Amino acid sequence: MKTARPVPRLRRYAAAAALSALLGLAAGCQSLLPDAATHTDVEWRSYEEAQRAIESIEPYRTTKQDLLAMGLDPGKNAAITILSYSEILQRFAAGSALRPEDYDRGIRDCLLAGKACVAYSLQIRRVRKERVGNFWLDSLNFRRETDITGWSFNALLILVNDTVVFTLHGGQPRIHEQERVRNPLGPLQGWGDQVPNFVR
């Protein structure tokens, strides 16, 4: 007499193993989604760190050499743009309804100094873009979700005869945005744009 094989039980084990494998694959696949980062190459790693550095600058006391010691060297720091006197004039004087006496002392001294006045414009941005969501929907271009996080900082330093006379700073301490793109046709979404090229 033959013994019945426990086929249903084996099938249940196989199904459970397959399900576990699929769940593990899905969890692992999310880590395969691409990410990207955009940042200005500076030593400051946070908005607060950049803010403290700029606020440590004292108008009419901090010199150009002091700025170099702080790492604010236009020749080495990619975040710095040097503004000429004419560019400063366009920012503060051209088309302005303010009278000269309405300006901050440092700006007034700059406008009177002519070419002896220059400015450093700092633009710093650290942003990370990370794709999140379902790996398969993303890979097949049905739906793509991107988390955008980071910070941005900007500052203006005005110097007259190599001495800082005015500082101003601002920016966005916290960037957190979500980008969602939905394509109902998935990988076929862009074909409509290509059809005219094929029928010519």
pLDDT (tens digit per residue) in 147-168: 888 999 999 999 999 999 999 9
Which of 40, 41, 44, 42 lies closest to 55, judged by CA?
Answer: 44
**Any idea which of 14-18, 124-128, 158-162 has the lowest mean pLDDT?**
14-18
Dihedral sign computed on CA atoms, order 92, 93, 94, 96: positive
For 161, the 3-state DSSP assignment is coil
Whether pTM exceeds 0.85: no
Spatial separation of the C-alpha atoms in residues 42 and 124, rounded to whole Å: 8
Tokens of 186: 């998935």
For 90, the 3-state DSSP assignment is helix
CA atoms within 13 A on the CB side of 198: 5
For residue range 92-112, list pLDDT tens digits in order: 876 566 777 788 999 999 999
